[in-house]
Structures are given as structure tokens and as C-alpha cells.
Amino acid sequence: MRIAVFDSKPYDEQALNEANAAHGYELAFFGDRLSRSTVPLAAGFDVVCPFVNDRVDACTLEQLAQLGVKLVALRCAGFNNVDLAAAEKYGIRVVRVPAYSPEATAEHAFALLLTLTRKTHRAFNRVRDGNFSLDGLVGFTLHGKTFGVIGTGKIGQACIRIARGFGCRVLAYDLYPNAALAAELGFEYASLDEIFPQADILSLHAPLMANTHHLVNATSIARMKRGVVLINTSRGGLVDSQALLDALKDGQIGGVGMDVYEHEEGVFFEDLSGEALMDDILARLTTFPNVMITSHQGYLTTEALANIAGTVFGNVADFAAGKPLVNEVRAGA
């Protein structure tokens, strides 16, 4: 099997090459994101392996089919960037990596949260400048706070475990509540109407779908507890960025930790240090002392990269052998 890996970075190449030692596939790495303009790079390949910001739309899939590509092997959990109906139309199967390391992303959520609540980023910069004053560094403890979790999938569950370890009361929302899980982990399921006004911290772990797009918007923010800390390590499109900016300016939201951004394509994963940031909202968000932004690195651990690579090649191996694709995603499924 010949596999074209798009939007590839050095750490991807290392992990995929190491995992490929057990398979012997022919790999080609392209730094370009997969889109209708870069499809020609996939000529002669059986499989394309895109990442979260590649645009696998109907036009791209039609061209891939014409090139003979039969499998889109995502190396991420999200698949909102793939037109699944078009993939089915053109006879292209789509597989993903549903759970590469839930703990990696959950731990990163708390890295953002603790940085915000204890202001360690500001303290670090002060000490480097020889300023050992504590003025302006008063934070708050997590113990006893109400921690709201939106989405109780694998990452949400890992986040709940950590929150419970800090002594938080956890309220969670999910379309499919699991009473046994709640009893096991010691949290309560609640409606969004109940969570928003009570949560001191709100952590997002839902997939990006039509019914979750801009879940956090001007209306929902107004229902939240004033001064809430919002953490998003899921998908940028869950949050209306303009509404978020407005809420930060008037103090309705007390802090934000975000590893994703709804307009991150072409910005995150890239070195733009020598250029002007053209996204006015993102540029404004970077100026707030109570906003922590990381560039979609929640998954970026040695363990997660190895798990991603292993699952990608497992999916490809199953496809090549004609076995059931346990990680396949389909339109309407």
C-alpha cells in the first residue's frame, strides 16, 4: 500500500516511520494540507492520510476517486472536515483514530486551567525579569469548585477523573447520559440550563456537529456564572469567537484556556512569527492576560503520537485485508 501523508510535521514523520516498521508500507510526506488544489500530490497512492485542518470536501474527494484513492485514513478523532456523503458517493472509505490518548488532552486542559487560576505564566515572566512581587497574582483553588463538563466521551471522562482528584464537584452534560459511569466516577449529569449558572469552570469535550456549532455563544454565555473560566480543547467551532471576545471585555467570562480556535486553519501548526497576524479576533485574544492559547497541542505527547500511528496503520491493514473497518465513519451514522 502506498500512503500519502498530508499536513505532515517532523514529529508525525518520526512516529509514523517508527510504527511503519511493522508494516512496510510506502510512505510519502507532504507538508501541504490536503485540499482541492493539492490533490494532484496523491497521484499514484492508494491511501491519503490527512489531519484536522485538511479540507476533504466533495471536490477533493471526487478528484481523489479519479486518481484511484480508495481510503481516507484520518490521523485524528474529528471528521467534520470530511464530506462523508461525497466519500460514499465516490466509493472512498473513511476511517479515523477515535481514541489515541484521552489523558493527553485532558491533562493539557488542566495545564491551561492551572496556568489561568494560579497565573503561573505571569509569575514566570516576572521572575525572569527579576520581579519577585506577588501583587496581582492572587488566584483561586480548584478544590470545592463546580466543574462543568460538556461531553462525557473518553476525553471528558479523563477530565472528570482529574477534576474529582482536585476535589471538584462535577456536573456533566451529554446527549446520552450513562448512569453507571456517573456512579463510578462520582459526578452528576445535568442539563445545560443547570450547568451554565453553576459552573465555576466549564470544559468542552464535545464533537463539532451541526447541533454543537457555536454551543458557546452570546446567549449561552449570558446564562453562565459571571467570571466563569472556559476551557476548550475540543473543536474551535464550538465557540463563537466574537461572543467570547465580547464576554472577556465585559468580565462575564473570567478566563479562557483554548487549544483550538474556529479559524485556526492556516494559523495553528505554522510559524508565523515573522508575519502580521491577519485574524483580528485571534490577535485581540492574545493580548488578554487571562487568556491562554496553545496551538492545538493537546494531543502532542510521545504516547499519543505512537497510538495515532499504530491505529492509522491498523486501519490501513484492515482495509487491505478486506476486514471490517471498526473505526470507519459514514454519513448519517
Q: Which residues are catalytic?
A: 235, 264, 296
Q: Round to whole Å and give the CA distance between 231 and 2.
A: 39
Angle (nearest 5°) at CA 142 between 136 and 145:
115
Contact 100, 302 (CB under 8 A): no
The answer for 201, left when phi > 0, alpha when psi is -120 to 50, beta otherwise, is beta
The secondary structure of 29-92 as a DSSP string is: E-SSPPSTTTGGGGTT-SEEE--TT--B-HHHHHHHHHTT--EEE-SSS--TTB-HHHHHHTT-
* Sole residue written with cell 527579576: 130
Q: Round to whole Å and give the CA distance between 145 and 170.
A: 8
Measured in whole angstroms, the distance separating CA 81 from the mean position of its chain's CA atoms is: 13
